[in-house]
């Protein structure tokens, strides 16, 4: 019976998103089904949490039937979207027309085998292990139990407010201002099952891991990687230990954030090359999804702006003025409204000053410990090659460097440095960026390959 | 560059130091017992701890030239103690040094004496102390003092990199790739340098014939080699998880987990907390205990202020509230008078509703 409910729940969650994405994405895109699969998992999960919020706001209990009904309406609505919204765009340079030679086929099969092994291991771990991770128990899953019990979203307030209100109709935890997408996903899984299952509530975490792979692979193919290169790079990203750990010991929000940010950055890059509206749509949809997952999603979403500016601004002077204006605005806000709260934190909370103690943990986490295998070595090597990459990677470079700069700012300049020095949040936040940095590294590799091929041909 | 130099030095050492340079082995029959009582001494030495849970054994007395690279291997025959101490007396100053190590029940711990204060010059005695339960037995089959050679070094690195640990909460924050987090070099460093060297060699050998895809293949292979350690660890962990939870129902999984005590407490407490408007305050000074209890009592309306107040002012407490007093708490509660004192009042009359090894559930009357 549970399998039947889960199937029904999965259809309610993913089918409208699948139809929506399939209406947007042209039919001749390489690895189209992977692309549809990846984005439909991400958008399906995020849109389900929005439906749950909307139902709760209207006072309608969140049940399998109520969510499925809204999903059906959504399905009917998205079917009205015209097929393949096209715009003036140039075709991307694709390598996949070249047939794979035998070693490439062997390598592709090896990667598929390794990925299957990893996926099974993660799936078994999630299927067997009850909710276990610290923050999940302290925060997210505890909240999910309440949402499940109440069949809807209930207000969470600060400890002080809870005491003032006598706990009447309100609940409290350490971070009542955090976005609630993660607990809603666990509550939704329990609602689909019809009961609270100590391990199955985490079933969507392997799906997030899978979504990272599908998005990475398909966008790499759109960017021009052949099957073997795209698969090898996807294996490398999906094998990173900390990413695997967050999928296996499910319950944290960082993996979903990581997947959505990758969805935004990868689609953005391909849009910057083709100007195809569907890619910008996917980028903005997954980018705005970041806002619903964690507070820092707001800042990651902002990192897309320099790239969009760089891709669209015709004159450098305009761009420089816009960048200077943005910086000036930030300084103005900090000087005049230090208590202004943005994404859950005021500038005064950040207590901005230079904290050199964070550099050693950052170095250890990225280049010494095995959190990311060799990703940061490759990323740094890639940054050294940027002068040779040409203009086409500049927009994604602007996005990635903005994200890295914000990450470093967070730990070197703000009160969050404690999270670095104690090795607590440092790698969890890095996880949110890591697949996107990997995608940029792959893009740089493809750009260098293109240059080499062109120079050899001439 | 620093790492490159380090590996060059390491390979230099390999050529000159092929095996163990110094080793001193003592069998169980050669060991003396200073604290504790001997139960048997033949191929293994079995000792019962004193009433304080202490055991002290000594190796035959001689002048030891201490080298900073020395290691001490211990071989236990049965469940080993959790804590080991090395105690030694220096020749000149006659000063006694002591250093403790936690080996969490390893059967054959290798104690690394590098960087230990006082471990230099000559020593007149070396003793090994163990902390275990009062009267508890400990069996040891041999002690080895040695200066490791390259093979030992490689063996240690292999053991460190491939050693499997079960999941720990900190794994969600970091993964070093090693068993002992402070050991250098780490696998990521080593494989990064190896990959770098291979790429350089490839470029030097093939020069203009070298291709970008060839370089990428080297990097991919290096990644694959590094990942093989992690892949094996992950599967080993899955095996452990299957042993622990396989075929159990949802609730039995929780009872089979490390949180079973808290889940058991919640099972006993929830029927008592059956009022819709029940408010439950968690009072405890240990974050882990309080967090676990709050989680398993959820979806009840639970108050837990991590790093803040254990219980709020008396003005916020009302009749009918439930309070969980965890084992470790600093709340002023007197069970004999059934009075709970909070800042701002003389004392609430409370009724004990549940007593459990996790804590006590009381209701404010």
pLDDT digits (tens, 9 = 90+) for A293-348: 999 999 999 999 999 988 887 777 777 777 788 778 777 777 777 677 776 667 67
For B274, the 3-state DSSP assignment is coil
Sign for the CA dihedral angle at B228, B234, B237, B239 comes to: negative
d(CA A228, CA A213): 14
**CA angle A307–A312–A313, rounded 5-degree value:** 100
- Alpha-carbon distance A382 to A442, whole Å? 9
Considering only CB atoms, which chain A residues are within 8 Å of B299?
145-146, 148-150
For all residues of chain B together, what is the average pLDDT? 87
> Structure pTM?
0.87
Q: Is there a contact between B291 and A137 if contact means CB atoms under 8 Å apart? A: yes
pLDDT at A93 over 90: no
Closest CA to B80 of B59, B96, B57: B57
Q: Report the C-alpha gap between A70 and A52 in whole angstroms.
A: 10
Q: Chains A and B: how many Cβ contacts under 8 Å?
A: 180
pLDDT per position as a tens digit, B297-343: 999 999 999 888 899 988 899 999 999 999 999 888 999 999 998 87
| pLDDT tens digit sequence for B117-166 | 888 888 888 999 998 888 889 999 999 988 888 888 888 888 888 888 88
Report residue A194: phi and psi, to 5°: 90, -5
Sequence-distant (≥ 6) Cβ neighbours of residue B36 within 8 angstroms: B47, B48, B49, B50, B54, B55, B56, B57, B138
* Tens digit of each residue's pLDDT (9 = 90 or more) over A33-51: 999 999 999 999 999 999 9
Q: Are the Cβ atoms of A370 and B230 closer than 8 angstroms? A: yes
- Say if CB A263 and CB A282 are below 8 A apart: yes
Residue A356 exposed, middle or buried by CB count within 10 Å (0-12, 13-18, 19+): exposed
Give the C-alpha separation, B46 to B180, whole Å. 29
Q: How confident is the model at residue A443 (pLDDT cuts 50, 70, 90)?
A: very high
> Which of the four pLDDT bands, split at 50, 70 and 90, describes residue B15?
very low
Q: Of B172, B226, B237, which to mutate for an interface test with A (greatest number of A Cβ within 10 Å)?
A: B172
CB contact under 8 Å between B186 and A369, yes or no, is yes
Inter-chain CB proximity B250 and A134 less than 8 Å: no
Give B48's strand partners.
B37, B137
Give the rounded distance of the alpha carbon of A154 from its chain centre: 26
The percentage of chain A sitting over the pLDDT mark of 90, rounded to a whole number, equals 78
First to last CA, chain B: 70
Give yes or no for residue B16 having a pLDDT over 50. no
- Alpha-carbon distance of A298 to A342, in angstroms, equals 9
**Helix or strand or coil: residue B102?**
strand
Q: Which two tokens stand for residue B341?
A: 């004192």
Q: Quick one: which of A263, A312, A258 has its CA closest to A287?
A: A263
Task: Give the N- to C-terminal CA distance of chain A in Å, as an integer.
Answer: 64
* Closest Cβ–Cβ partner in B167, B175, B227 for A371: B175
Q: B181-229 pLDDT, tens per residue?
A: 556 789 999 999 999 999 999 999 998 899 999 999 999 999 999 999 9
Please give the mean pLDDT across all residues of chain A: 91
ipTM of the complex: 0.93
State the smallest CA–CA distance between residue B226 and chain A in angstroms. Answer: 7
Residues in a beta bridge with A342: A345
φ and ψ of A131, to 5 deg: -50, 130
- As a whole number, mean pLDDT of residues A165-190 equals 95
> Do residue B291 and residue A200 have CB atoms under 8 angstroms apart?
no
Backbone phi, psi, residue B80, to 5°: -80, 165
Which residues from A are below 8 Å from B212, CB to CB? 445, 448-449, 452
Distance between CA atoms of residues B364 and B323, nearest Å: 8
Query: Quick one: three-class SS letters along chain A?
Result: CHHHHHHHHHHHHHHHHHHHHHHHCCCCCCCHHHHHHHHHHHHHHHHHHHHHHHHHHCCCCCCHHHHHHHHHHHHHHHCCCCCCCCCCCCCCCCCCCCCCCHHHHHHHHHHHHHHHHHHHHHHHHHHHCCCCCHHHHHHHHHHHHHHHHHCCCCCEECHHHHHHCCCCCCEECCCCCCCCHHHHHHHHHHHHHCCCCCCHHHCHHHHHHHHHHHHHHHHHHHCCCCHHHHHHHHHHHHCCHHHHHHHHCCCCCHHHHHHHHHHHHHHHHHHHHHCCHHHHHHHHHHHHHHHHCCCCHHHHHHCHHHHHHHHHCCCHHHHHHHHHHHHHHHHHHHHHCCCCEECCEEHHHHCCCCCHHHHHHHHHHHHHCCCCCCHHHHHHHHHHHHHHCCHHHHHHHHHHHHHHHHHHHHHHCCCCHHHHHCCCCHHHHHHHHHHHHHHHHHHHHHHHHHHHHHHHHC
Question: Which residue shows structure tokens 């990893």?
Answer: A118
Q: Which residue in chain A is spatially nearest to B213 when comparing CA positions? A: A449
CA of B209: which chain A residue's CA is closest? Answer: A456
Q: Which of B186, B222, B246 sits opposite A368 (nearest CB)?
A: B186
Q: Give which of A338, A366, A262, A238 is closest to B174, Cα–Cα.
A: A366
B174–A174: do the CB atoms touch at under 8 Å? no
**What is the distance, to the nearest Å, from the Cα of residue A91 to the centroid of all Cα atoms in its chain?**
26
Question: In 3D, which of A278, A223, A323, A315 has the Cα closest to residue A89?
Answer: A278
Interchain contact, A137 vs B195, CB within 8 Å: no
Helix (H, G, I), strand (E, B) or coil at B307: coil
pLDDT in tens, A254-266: 999 999 999 999 9
Which helix (H) or strand (E) is B185 found in, with range?
A: none
> Which of B93-102, B159-168, B282-291 tops mean pLDDT?
B282-291
């Amino acid at each position: 019976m549970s399998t039947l409910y889960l199937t029904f729940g999965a259809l309610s969650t993913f089918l409208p998103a699948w139809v929506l994405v399939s209406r947007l994405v042209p039919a001749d895109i390489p690895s189209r089904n992977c692309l549809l699969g990846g984005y439909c998992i991400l958008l399906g999960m995020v849109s389900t949490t929005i439906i749950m919020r909307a139902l709760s706001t209207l006072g309608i209990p969140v049940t399998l039937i109520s969510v499925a009904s809204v999903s059906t309406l959504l399905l009917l609505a998205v079917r009205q979207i015209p097929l393949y919204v096209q715009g003036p765009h140039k075709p991307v340079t694709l390598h996949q027309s070249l047939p794979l030679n035998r070693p490439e086929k062997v390598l592709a099969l090896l990667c598929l085998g390794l990925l299957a092994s990893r996926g099974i291991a993660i799936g078994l771990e999630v299927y067997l292990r009850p909710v276990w991770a610290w923050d999940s128990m302290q925060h997210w899953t505890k909240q999910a139990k309440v949402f499940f019990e109440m069949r809807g979203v209930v207000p969470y307030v600060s400890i002080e407010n809870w005491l003032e209100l006598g706990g009447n109709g309100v609940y409290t935890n350490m971070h009542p201002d955090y976005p609630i997408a993660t607990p809603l996903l666990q509550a939704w899984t329990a609602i689909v099952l019809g009961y609270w299952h100590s391990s199955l509530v985490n079933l969507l975490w392997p799906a997030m891991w899978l979504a990272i792979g599908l998005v990475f692979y398909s966008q790499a193919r759109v960017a021009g990687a052949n099957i073997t290169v795209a698969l090898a790079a996807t294996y490398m990203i999906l094998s990173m230990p900390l990413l695997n750990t967050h999928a296996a010991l499910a319950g944290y929000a960082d993996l979903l954030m990581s997947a959505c940010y990758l969805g935004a950055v990868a689609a953005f890059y391909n849009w910057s090359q083709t100007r195809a509206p569907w890619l910008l749509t996917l980028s903005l949809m997954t980018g705005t999804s970041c806002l619903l997952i964690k507070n820092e999603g707001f800042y990651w979403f902002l990192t897309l702006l320099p790239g969009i500016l760089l891709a669209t601004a015709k004159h450098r002077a305009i761009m420089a003025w816009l960048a200077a204006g943005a910086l000036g605005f930030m300084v103005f806000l900090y000087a005049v409204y230090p208590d202004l709260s943005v994404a859950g934190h005021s500038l005064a909370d950040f207590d901005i000053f230079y904290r050199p103690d964070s550099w050693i943990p950052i170095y250890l986490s990225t280049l010494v410990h095995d959190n990311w295998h060799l990703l940061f070595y490759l990323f740094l090597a890639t940054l050294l090659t940027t002068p040779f990459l040409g203009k086409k990677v500049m927009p994604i470079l602007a996005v990635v460097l903005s994200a890295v700069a914000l990450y470093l700012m967070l730990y070197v300049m703000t009160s969050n440095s404690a999270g670095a020095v104690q090795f607590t949040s440092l790698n969890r936040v890095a996880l949110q960026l890591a697949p996107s940095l990997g995608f940029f590294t792959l893009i740089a590799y493809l750009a260098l390959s293109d240059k080499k091929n062109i120079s050899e041909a001439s | 560059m620093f790492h490159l130099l380090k590996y060059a030095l390491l390979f230099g050492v390999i050529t000159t130091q092929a095996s163990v340079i110094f080793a001193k082995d003592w069998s169980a029959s050669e060991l003396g017992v200073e604290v504790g009582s001997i139960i048997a001494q033949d191929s293994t030495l079995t000792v019962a701890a004193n009433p304080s849970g202490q055991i002290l054994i000594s190796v035959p007395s001689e002048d030891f030239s201490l080298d900073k690279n020395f290691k001490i291997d211990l071989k236990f025959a049965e469940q080993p103690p959790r804590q080991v101490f090395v105690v030694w007396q220096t020749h000149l100053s006659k000063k006694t040094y002591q250093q403790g190590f936690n080996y969490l029940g390893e059967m054959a711990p290798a104690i690394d004496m590098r960087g230990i204060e006082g471990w230099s010059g000559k020593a007149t005695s070396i003793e090994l102390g163990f902390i275990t339960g009062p009267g508890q037995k400990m069996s040891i089959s041999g002690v080895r003092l040695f200066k490791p050679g390259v093979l030992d070094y490689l063996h240690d690195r292999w053991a460190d990199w491939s050693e499997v640990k079960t999941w720990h909460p900190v794994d969600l924050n970091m993964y070093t790739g090693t068993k002992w987090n402070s050991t250098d070099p780490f696998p990521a460093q080593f494989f990064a340098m190896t990959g770098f060297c291979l790429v350089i060699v490839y470029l030097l050998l093939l020069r203009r014939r070298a291709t970008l895809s060839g370089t990428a293949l080297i990097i991919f292979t290096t990644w694959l080699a590094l990942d093989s350690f992690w892949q094996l660890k992950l599967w080993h962990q899955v095996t452990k998880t299957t042993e622990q939870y396989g075929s159990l129902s949802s609730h039995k999984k929780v009872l089979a987990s490390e949180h079973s005590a808290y889940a058991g407490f919640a099972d006993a407490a929830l029927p008592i907390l059956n009022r819709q408007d029940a408010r439950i305050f968690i009072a405890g000074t240990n974050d882990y205990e309080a967090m676990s209890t709050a989680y398993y009592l959820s979806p009840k309306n639970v108050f837990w202020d991590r790093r803040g107040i254990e219980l709020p002012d008396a003005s916020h407490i009302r009749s009918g509230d439930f309070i969980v007093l965890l084992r470790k708490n600093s709340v002023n509660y007197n069970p004999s008078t059934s009075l709970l004192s909070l800042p701002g009042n003389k004392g609430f009359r409370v009724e004990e509703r549940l007593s459990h090894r996790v804590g006590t559930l009381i209701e404010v009357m």
